[in-house]
Amino acid sequence: MGKDIENIEAVPEREIISWHALSIEECIAKLRADPDLAKKGLTSAEAARRFEEYGPNKMSEAEKETLCQKIWKQVANVLVCILVVVAVVSAARGIVEQVAVDDPNSTTILTSWVQVGLIVTVITVNTCIGILQEGSAEKAAEALKNMLSADARVIRDGKELMIPAIEVVPGDVIILSLGDRCPADMRVIESTNLACQEAALTGEAVPIDKKIDVISVPQGTNAEQIALGDRHNMTFSATLVAQGSGVGIAIATGDETQIGTINKLVSQVEKKKTNVLEQIDQVSKLLAILIGLATLTTFFIAFFASEQSPFEAVSTALVCCVAMIPEGLEAIVTLVYAWATTNMAKKNAIIRALPAVETLGSVTVICSDKTGTLTQNVMSLTAFVTSNAHYKFDVNATDRVPTNFVREDSYLAERAQHQLKRSVSQVIRDGANSGAPRKGHIESSNHYSIDTSLHPVEVEDSGSAPAGVPDEFPFPNGGSPTSDWVKNALSVGVLCSKCVLGENGGRDGEIGNPTELSILRAAYFSGISIESLKEETPIVAEVPFSSEYKFMATVHDTGDADNYDVFVKGAPDRMVKLCSTQAKGGVVTDVEPVNSNYWIEKIAILSSHGLRVLALCRATVPKSTIVKGENLGPEFVNGRPEGQWLTIVGLCAIMDPPRPECVQAIKEAKGAGVRVAMITGDHKDTATAIGHMLGIVDENFPSAITGPELDEMSDDEMKNAVMTYNVFARASPQNKIRIVKALQAQKQISSMTGDGVNDAPALKAADMGVAMGKEGTDVAREASEMILADDNFATIVTAVKEGRTVWDNLRKVLYINTPINNAQGMSVLFGLAFGLKQSPLSPIQVLYSNLICAITLGFVAAIEPSEEGIMSLPPRRIGKRLIGRYLLLRILLATFTLTCLVVASAFWLKSYNVNGYLFSRYDKQDENNPVNYDPNVTEPPELKYYLEDIRATAFNVLDFGAISITLSARFTYLSSIHPRVFSGNKYAWYSVFIVAALQVITTYVPGLNNVVFLMDGMDGLQWGIVILFMVITFLVLEAEKAVRSYLKFRGADTDDLQYGVFDNPMEGEAGKNDALLPKGASHLNLVALEK
């Protein structure tokens, strides 16, 4: 639940001053400066005093860990301590054997130091991997600091001088030139064509023109609610001067700037240790107790029952101890994460912090931006409506053919369900064609919007559209138009435009308004040559577009001897008022009287579905009335004596369409129990329409809610709202933070996407912050846990699947490694307990098996692909542990089976020896050799199988049994007695081959087998035992799998999804009742969420 964050030191809250709403004189007064500040600037003495008061102009930094602290954090756990103790004892034993014993045993000395070397290597490797994989939270603050200015040109003591930007103080008069970075937040007092690029901070793509006038605050609005992008008399720290020059007065520096406020949130240090590694730490404490008990038990049995010497008994006990320590587990867990991050990167999901891999598997809600993430970020013409038909356009088409248009009269033929009972003006007011600005903006982003306050529509009923002519003219329903029809119908939109289409119809190199470009793109993909059309029909004169009259008109020479053709496109309500005729069925040569009510209702229908609407009209004028190259006024269109004179050809319905792959991705997410919520700055109807198309809006979440509505809610109401709505329209970054906090208060694990600096706090607050790789800023990326290289929502769902696979594979790693480790220690313990005088496994055999099985066989589980059905399971619950009831039972069964078979192999071979003797073939001082304890025996008896033979067999039974466990564990429920076991993961068989080959090498290579591993080569009977016991291990585990599958079929929780005795259901309760805004977030003055 939520990230664990160390809060930085709280600072007193400053007075909130709306500088943009103050005059220059009032600003100077608020700064307690002299009235002539603008001319003379601060005095050096006053600047020094203010520097003492406000501090340096830099952002606070979180304390960084030293290398020693990082190393200590990696080694400060119980299992490493036990390993250190074992290494010290092994070293002591080697030293004592070499120095204090008269006839030192070279084998004991060698194995002792090899054991020390292996342990030191394991600890060193694990520590290095852990340090290298540490999350880099400090980089977020570094990315912000890199955006800051290094120097500033100021006026002090009446003189211009250059000072380090860190010395700028509130009240400094700063001179800005082209290319400068603003060193502080400033109130502009002089502007010479000054414009600043503020996209990283505000989300506004184009530079913002700056002026000195006071920003008027709309009635009923708090001055602080004016978005940063609309504060045209302010410049902000770290933004770039894109044109012109100017002068400003610094009103905030350091942490008090807008970017500094964000820095205070994103620079908080996160504890990056994953939940899984924390679980391993907890399990380590339990294991330490169990290992301690097993070690003591082994020592007492070895000393009292097997009558070993004290040092020998300690050595045997340490073998058991080392065997049961999963020293390779933490390394293999890191390998699981590393493999997953590499795999995700290939699929465009770049993981920045290891905990993100784990969090992905338990995400319950994905909160996604709309534009560019769920949609294509390409405005596209989706439908063309004529006087009697609807033509649907394939927005995903790649072929340039007119058949991309299909007549489908049922498409967008009725209002959206939620707008059925409303009047036309109400529908338009709520839709994408509304002239109302987005939340926090002063102006509308839709140039062709319908302003119902200035131009009320006449039709105010809520009925259906007046019927057009239901005929098959000019093309039947289900058919496609001809190329000539498309060319004539869309030529208005193509010719009445200054836009330039991108390369191959895409965005690369495009110039102009996205709404207008959508018409050019539709014409292009219908096979129309844009350039040829413009050359054939040259422009003669034009009426430039203006937001005042909301249309554009161009006059063209089409070859007619007497007349020019006039093409007009604009806001549909205004165009309908100017039309006297309509092109019948879109055929421009066949006109009929206009049916205004029909067109107005069609505008309402299209608006109710969140579509932007443009009307295409045309007419002719005598050539004698036009002067070539003339810039015409709007009265040429709307001030003619004849009043209504245009012919309406059709309506263009335009939207940023959903990405086709997102529809399937959202369906998959739903099947996995993951909600998808859409957060957008767009209008409610547009958001709802996109939500319907994507499947986000459904019977469970049927409607949308807006940012202003959220602003009015209490925390409790907000918590209910986030569980009621999937679509949040006209939302701001402040809303994002509250949404995240509310979801977390409801015990949801949330993922949040963002791209701007203003999104950074929400990305940090979310359990899983996701930044955009293409459109995003460095700050957003550094504040996130994951980056989408393709800005595609479907990539998030793919990453969720990978996150679940990681959890699944970690359970498989435990299922493979834990029984092998346990069997090593238990084989020593129970071998001695049942009568063996010496350990059936040598210390080096134990350490070798421990490492080689973890690195090879454990790695097999780490890279297993997703199992079928993994996305049909619900998200992992908060507080779930890796080891549940059924996994524990499986581990115990595998441990029991393998231990029994290893010990049984030793007693099977021992039974062939005369009198049950068992001693070493090479160690003449072996106390179990009758020669060394029975005076009547002068020659050692000939044994069929010596201690080295039994150790060889036990060693191979253990490791080949580990292979059986691995092959069975690859599939949770599906049987491994199937051809599928040979496919899906080629590394599984590479690992099996490596382990088997190394077993043969260590068993038969002279010196390596008898000196290092203390064993001998094996005969046919021994290999027969190994193969038999390998098969038995495999069949036992497959039988357990069959029983578990049956229990699952009967409804048992064999996946350990429900809370069990090992889980912590209360883990998600912390912070549930906290306020929904983190400290400092309420002072963020951020712009609406918009590309």
Active-site amino acid positions: 369
Q: Among positive and negative, which fits the CA dihedral 204, 205, 207, 209?
A: negative
**Angle, vertex CA 153, rays to CA 149 and CA 155, nearest 5:** 140
**Burial group, residue 927, by CB count within 10 angstroms (0-12, 13-18, 19+):** middle
Name the one residue in this structure whose structure tokens are 């098996």.
849
Contact 694, 666 (CB under 8 A): yes
Per the CB < 8 A criterion, the answer to whether 140 and 264 are in contact is: no
Peptide bond into 474 cis (omega under 30): yes
Neighbouring C-beta atoms of residue 1006, cutoff 10 Å: 9
Does an H or E element contain 892, and which? helix 885-910
DSSP 919-955: --SS-TT-TTSHHHH-TT--SPPP-SS-HHHHHHHHH
Single out the residue of 19, 16, 14 nearest to residue 249, CA to CA: 19
Beta carbons within 10 angstroms of residue 222's beta carbon: 11
Q: Are strands 240-252 and 173-176 parallel, antiparallel or unpaired?
A: antiparallel
Distance (Å, rounded) from C-alpha 314 to C-alpha 300? 9
323 neighbors 846 (Cβ within 8 angstroms): yes
Quick check: 576 and 596 in contact, CB under 8 A? yes
Q: Would you state the structure tokens that stand for residue 378, as one six-digit string?
A: 């390409």
3-state helix, strand, coil in the chain (%, to 5): 45, 15, 40
The CA distance from 178 to 200, in Å, is: 18
Report the candidate in 307, 145, 125 with the shortest Cα–Cα distance to residue 932. Answer: 307
Spatial CA neighbour of 253 closest among 205, 311, 185: 185
Q: Would the CA dihedral through 713, 715, 719, 720 be positive or negative?
A: negative
**Alpha-carbon span 926 to 1014, nearest angstrom:** 13
Helix (H) or strand (E) holding 829: helix 793-833
The Cα 65–Cα 71 span in angstroms is 10
If residue 965 lies in a helix (H) or strand (E), which one and from where to where? helix 947-969
Tell me, what amino acid is at 246?
Answer: G
Q: How far is Cα of residue 307 from the mean position of the Cα atoms in its chain?
A: 61
The tokens of 157 are what? 């003591």
Which residues neighbour 671 within 8 Å (Cβ) at sequence distance 6 or greater?
Answer: 871, 872
Other CB atoms within 10 A of residue 422 CB: 16
Parallel, antiparallel, or unpaired: how do β-strands 675-679 and 727-729 relate? Answer: parallel
Nearest in space to 555 (alpha carbons), one of 540, 545, 533, 568: 540
